Structure 1
Amino acid sequence: MLSKVNRYREIFTICAKYEIASWLGKLNLDFANDIFDKKCGKDLTQYSSAQRTRMAIAELGPTFIKLGQILSTRPDLIHPEMAEELKHLQSNVPSDPPQQVRETIHSEFGQSVDELFASFDLKALASASIGQVHLAQLKSGEKVVVKVQHANIEEKIRLDLEILLDLADLVERYVEESRNYRPRETCEEFKRLLLRELDFNREKRNLEKFALNFKDDKRVYIPKAFGDYCTGRVLTMEKLEGIPLSQKDTLLEQGYDVKELAEVGADMFLRMIFVHGFYHADPHPGNLFAMSNNRIGIIDCGMVGLLSDELREDIEDMLMCLVRNNGPKLTNLIIRLGSIPRDLNRAQLQSDIKEFSEYYGTMNLKDVNLQKALEEMSDLIRRHRIVLPAGVSLLIKVLVMLEGTSHNLSADFNLIGLIAPYRNQMIARRLSPARQKRIMENLFMDWERVVKTVPMGLVDIVERLQSGDVNIKFEHKRLEDSVNRLVMGLVISALFLGSSFLLALKSPPLISEVSITGIVGYVISIFMGSALLFRIYMDKYRIK
């Protein structure tokens, strides 16, 4: 308890020092009464509120730095100026001393560093918020990098997370305008993500899954994880021999085709998103390596995104609405996906989205800057106090970072142009028998759930109907004809729509790049539709 109180005092002292969160001083907490009365003694007038917030977060330590980095990807939650400032947060942390590294490895494997490795550089290559990286060589000869978790970091992070949840509750209680953004829920999601990163076995499994997904793609290289040398606190993986994409000048000096590297890297991420539904969530140029033959290698797979089929289809729809100038559908998608305030001005939202979609939807694909478009859409959503699901926000962040990383390599790079070929795959996947089967299975399960939860009173009514205790009498006229026409109309509509897709996809056989099957379907649907309309007209004439 004492350590928690001390940490509270430390957090409040830093907030007071940088003159942020002044509302904390109004809580009249016994252990903090004197903190906000003190003057910092440092002139902070030269710094903006966003800069002071970043400086405070950096001083608060690894947990808060991680939170700041995640919030920098959520312009739907915080002001764009604040989001941009938090992008500059660096998670450089002093590395553990060599003896501590030895002790950590021995406690995890029951063997010493010398027993496990042929060589091990005890000087850390890099040190971040959760762990540090060392170069090593296995006794079998492979060169590896070993990520070792900082000592006691889990205990420190869990304490900070507990305090963050307490502070989120206080924010919701005392800062009324924050309630639309659900601070408690945001912190709960952050807690879930951060605790996952503490388990290095998850990163090992992510590497293995990426390797499986790209086993047939020679352009992508996923480093091997050595399972016998991995635990929850130690990760051993193959050392990549390559140049980080952040070193553009070096890449050019070494004769790499940076335009091809940008396209290969971007296409790799698009496949992760639109094909696999499992993607690396941090496409920072330092995490991507150029290797021989313009292959792309990838590291730091601790943070990943997972898309359900439903969410992936919603995101695909959002992107298609953007390039097709379909403002009304984009508005409905945002309202359905997001958490909206009670006093949402729907008319103003529709007007803003219409203006947004008309601007981008009328451009040629090669002229659309997806990064700018997504940033503007995020700002629009924030202004209307709509909160998107964490999965959608994470994916928007990845697409924005991906466009930025690729554009830094090749000035004429255009991500939306690479997304366009996936459109046909999206349509084909939605028309596939597998998807229709899944829809029917889900529908069956939904109905099964409804049946199981029907109140006993309705069950009693059904039993009475079956026993003949209840008689229902109704009379209808020409209902059978109406039902037949309805069914026929649905069949004709399906045939017409399917023929449209076949024409759009240029499905073979083709004549002059026109689908014969699509044309035949069109003709049949028009003929059947005309016959149905004629029959309806004649029936009305006979009635008259």
Structure 2
Amino acid sequence: MSKYTGNGLPRVRISRRRSGIGLAGDTVRGGLRVMQTLNVLARTGAGWLSGRRPPTPVLLRETFESLGTTYIKLGQLIASSPSLFPADYVEEFQKCLDRTPVLPFPVIRRTIESELGRSLESLYAWVDTQPLASASIAQVHAARLHSGEDVVIKVQKPGVEHVLVTDFNFLYMAARVVELITPGLSRTAIAGVIDELQSAMLEECDFHKEADNLERFNEFLAATGNDRAVAPKPYREFSARRVLTMERFHGVPLTDLEVLKAHTDDPTGTLVIALNTWFSSLMLCDFFHADVHAGNLMLLEDGRVGFIDFGIVGHMRPEVWQAMSQLFEGISQGDSQQTAEAMASIGMTREKVDVAALARDIDAFQSRLTHLDPAAVLEGGRNDREVNKVLMDLVRIGEQHGIRFPREFALLLKQFLYFDRYIQVLAPEMDLFGDARLDVWGTLDRLH
């Protein structure tokens, strides 16, 4: 079987060019956003001077939440980056919630009609005025096409992209100030996280790219002969940069064992499909779904597993995945020596690693992994606290031995922990790496 490849996603950079609005309008709105940011910072400073002085991680988290979209996303990224930030910051920013109000439907209507150039009634036979979900970047509504297909419409909130560009420019200028008041953070870590968040969030604002991801994931499934999993089909004729119309999936999420059992006689088989599909995508697709909490996996009415929400995707170099696969297998089998050797291979080391000493320290981590509460993972959410605590423990062990992990390590390990917990709750009789029905490693070996 040949390896499926697609066009790589271009890296997005902050642009100061016009984007459909006048340069003067950009300048005015940018100035207003900067003033709003400075006002929040001034209030924070005034509170500090008046005697309200919580720990620095708490102060930063509260300030980020007051600043809105960009900073909340930055906080969430800090929460999932224990390889880059001190533990007290990672733990505190796990409380950083994306609280966004629902926009009135007339605002949603105007955006759809402006982007697609037609009246809402000519585009859709029916649109639910109450949203299915509302996040910082977009709001999602159920709808039906005139041809009868059930769809969902993802509509970008007005002004989001402009706010992001303005905020990122401000963040770069403010980085040195942040260093002065938070000496526990390194400039390299801050710059790296800002750069990664900038690229991801600006790409997320271009719904053409998310439509590309959906199509390419389904092409990967077809190329590998996988008819047991599927991603929503995008409707290009009803989509634009800020509007994405997608096939609506009907089914149940993989969040509740009793609900799952009511819809299938083989919950273990459902998990095997999801696992084989996701692991195979690491090597056979040019990106992988990087947020596989249970809310983004569905058992559809026809028995297939639906992968939804491709707003967060990752990219994996083959050599990194080979080392990661050894790490996952070592953790699963309780093989501390293999785990230690894989960690030394993955990490960016500052000195020669004593693998034997590292293996001894990993034994304690294996105990923590065994006692992780699996029910918490099934609640969904990208910042699951128990998963992060285990991840942070492993990172600390590595750092004690001179290892600094790349961010892709944390991203992949977190997805692995999610799957491991799903199995403990939904199919405890199945061995993640040893079950004959789960042929991840055999499949990858045959393909290479």
Q: TM-score, normalised by structure 2?
A: 0.76
Tell me the alpha carbon deviations over residues 64-97 of structure 1, each in whole angstroms, 9 at most, x when there is no partner.
Answer: 2212222222111234464355445432411221
Instruction: Say yes or no: does 1:299 pair with 2:308.
Output: yes
Instruction: Say yes or no: does 1:404 pair with 2:418.
Output: no
Give the structure 2 partner of residue 167 of structure 1: 174
Instruction: Say yes or no: does 1:290 pair with 2:299.
Output: yes
Alignment of structure 1 residues 326-345 onto 2, 5 Å:
326=338, 329-330=341-342, 332-335=344-347, 338=348, 344=350
Change (3 A) 1:5 1:352: farther
Deviates more, 1:374-383 or 1:101-110: 374-383
CA distance in 1, matches of 2:318, 2:234: 28
CA distance in 1, matches of 2:319, 2:119: 48
CA distance in 1, matches of 2:373, 2:182: 36
Instruction: Say yes or no: does 1:12 pair with 2:41.
Output: yes
Structure with greater proportional helix content: 1
Give the structure 1 partner of residue 13 of structure 2: none
Deviates more, 1:201-210 or 1:285-294: 285-294
Which amino acid counterpart does residue 175 of structure 2 have in structure 1? A
Residues 123 and 134 in structure 1, CA contact (< 8 A), matched pair in contact too = yes
CA distance in 1, matches of 2:414, 2:58: 21
Overall identity of the aligned pairs, in %: 26
| CA deviation after TM superposition for structure 1 residue 189, in Å | 1.4
Instruction: Say yes or no: does 1:262 pair with 2:271.
Output: yes
Change (3 A) 1:84 1:179: closer
Residues 125 and 133 in structure 1, CA contact (< 8 A), matched pair in contact too = yes
Give the structure 2 partner of residue 3 of structure 1: 32
Which amino acid counterpart does residue 398 of structure 1 have in structure 2? Q
Q: Which of these residues, 69, 72, 77, is aligned with residue 84 of structure 2?
A: 77
Structure 1 counterpart SS, 2:48:
coil
CA distance in 1, matches of 2:244, 2:80: 27
CA distance in 1, matches of 2:96, 2:424: 22
Residues 153 and 244 in structure 2, CA contact (< 8 A), matched pair in contact too = yes
Tell me the alpha carbon deviations over residues 488-523 of structure 1, each in whole angstroms, 9 at most, x when there is no partner.
Answer: xxxxxxxxxxxxxxxxxxxxxxxxxxxxxxxxxxxx
| CA deviation after TM superposition for structure 1 residue 173, in Å | 5.7
CA distance in 2, matches of 1:4, 1:390: 30
Q: Which of these residues, 151, 161, 166, is aligned with residue 154 of structure 1?
A: 161
Change (3 A) 1:88 1:413: farther
Residues 83 and 407 in structure 2, CA contact (< 8 A), matched pair in contact too = no
Instruction: Say yes or no: does 1:128 pair with 2:135.
Output: yes
Change (3 A) 1:35 1:82: closer
| CA deviation after TM superposition for structure 1 residue 281, in Å | 0.8
CA distance in 1, matches of 2:435, 2:86: 30
Residues 277 and 312 in structure 1, CA contact (< 8 A), matched pair in contact too = no
Give the structure 2 partner of residue 118 of structure 1: 125
Which amino acid counterpart does residue 441 of structure 2 have in structure 1? R
Alignment of structure 1 residues 54-65 onto 2, 5 Å:
54-65=61-72
Give the structure 1 partner of residue 441 of structure 2: 423
Change (3 A) 1:226 1:167: same
CA distance in 2, matches of 1:306, 1:146: 27
Which amino acid counterpart does residue 93 of structure 1 have in structure 2? T
Residues 4 and 159 in structure 1, CA contact (< 8 A), matched pair in contact too = yes
Change (3 A) 1:314 1:306: same
Instruction: For structure 2, list consecutive stretches of 5 or more residues without a partner in the other structure.
Output: 1-29, 375-386
Instruction: For structure 1, list consecutive stretches of 5 or more residues without a partner in the other structure.
Output: 17-33, 431-544
Which amino acid counterpart does residue 312 of structure 1 have in structure 2? W
Deviates more, 1:385-394 or 1:62-71: 385-394
Which amino acid counterpart does residue 271 of structure 1 have in structure 2? S
Change (3 A) 1:405 1:198: farther
| CA deviation after TM superposition for structure 1 residue 258, in Å | 3.0
| CA deviation after TM superposition for structure 1 residue 35, in Å | 5.7
Which amino acid counterpart does residue 404 of structure 1 have in structure 2? R
Give the structure 1 partner of residue 15 of structure 2: none
Change (3 A) 1:426 1:109: closer
Task: Give the structure, 1 or 2, with the largest relative contact order (CA under 8 Å, sep 6 or more).
Answer: 2
Alignment of structure 1 residues 132-211 onto 2, 5 Å:
132-172=139-179, 175-179=182-186, 182-211=189-218
Which amino acid counterpart does residue 32 of structure 2 have in structure 1? S
Instruction: Say yes or no: does 1:393 pair with 2:410.
Output: yes
CA distance in 2, matches of 1:414, 1:277: 28
Residues 327 and 353 in structure 1, CA contact (< 8 A), matched pair in contact too = no
Structure 2 counterpart SS, 1:289:
strand
Residues 219 and 264 in structure 1, CA contact (< 8 A), matched pair in contact too = yes
Which amino acid counterpart does residue 291 of structure 1 have in structure 2? L
Give the structure 1 partner of residue 359 of structure 2: 354
Q: Which of these residues, 112, 116, 121, is aligned with residue 109 of structure 1?
A: 116
Give the structure 2 partner of residue 36 of structure 1: 48
Which amino acid counterpart does residue 7 of structure 1 have in structure 2? Q
Tell me the alpha carbon deviations over residues 124-161 of structure 1, each in whole angstroms, 9 at most, x when there is no partner.
Answer: 22101100001111111111000000011111122222
| CA deviation after TM superposition for structure 1 residue 380, in Å | 2.0
Which amino acid counterpart does residue 157 of structure 1 have in structure 2? L
CA distance in 2, matches of 1:263, 1:384: 36
Change (3 A) 1:250 1:85: farther
| CA deviation after TM superposition for structure 1 residue 309, in Å | 2.5
| CA deviation after TM superposition for structure 1 residue 123, in Å | 2.1
Residues 391 and 410 in structure 2, CA contact (< 8 A), matched pair in contact too = no
Residues 290 and 411 in structure 2, CA contact (< 8 A), matched pair in contact too = yes
Change (3 A) 1:15 1:394: farther
Residues 274 and 422 in structure 1, CA contact (< 8 A), matched pair in contact too = no
Structure 2 counterpart SS, 1:147:
strand
Change (3 A) 1:76 1:93: same
| CA deviation after TM superposition for structure 1 residue 162, in Å | 2.0
Q: TM-score, normalised by structure 1?
A: 0.64
CA distance in 2, matches of 1:12, 1:3: 14
Structure 2 counterpart SS, 1:36:
helix
Which amino acid counterpart does residue 422 of structure 1 have in structure 2? V
Instruction: Say yes or no: does 1:227 pair with 2:239.
Output: no
CA distance in 1, matches of 2:208, 2:160: 16
CA distance in 2, matches of 1:369, 1:120: 40
Give the structure 2 partner of residue 487 of structure 1: none
RMSD, aligned CA: 3.6
Structure 2 counterpart SS, 1:119:
strand
Which amino acid counterpart does residue 230 of structure 1 have in structure 2? S
